[in-house]
Amino acid sequence: MTPSQYPTVICLRNDTPSEMRVYLEMTAEEVVLAPGHSVELVARPSEGLLPITIDYVERGLQIHPHKEFDPDWHVRFKGKLIRAGYPTRLSEHE
């Protein structure tokens, strides 16, 4: 399965006046959303992916897959599919 076929795990939108960071665990990926940005977080489906756990942390969210170590996180942003890295600044993909 290619990343373009991965299901959406969650849709996120930054409605705050400052940057929001989304930390993807258990790996070191981080996605930085500027004010007004919205994304779909997609991941390779597996038995260990869902349910996800979301923790509120300073400056953003930390997302944990259920039992999957590396679900090959990607974000869909303004029609582009972007592999999550450290860090992935969406403003660089506008």
| pLDDT, tens digit, 9 for 90 and up, residues 51-70 | 999 999 988 999 999 998 88
Identify the domain containing residue 36 by its residue range: 3-89
Tell whether the model's pLDDT for residue 27 goes beyond 80. no
pTM over 0.75: yes
* Residue 50, in any domain of the structure: yes
* Residue 46, in any domain of the structure: yes
Tell whether the model's pLDDT for residue 77 goes beyond 90. yes
Q: Token match 């260990």: residue?
A: 48
Given a contact cutoff of 8 angstroms between Cβ atoms, the answer to whether 37 and 18 are in contact is no
Instruction: Tell me the residue type at 10.
Output: I
Residue 91 to residues 35, 40, 48, Cα–Cα distance (Å): 10, 15, 31
* Residue 94, in any domain of the structure: no
How many structural domains comprise the chain? 1
pLDDT value of residue 1: 85
pLDDT value of residue 70: 85
pLDDT value of residue 20: 96
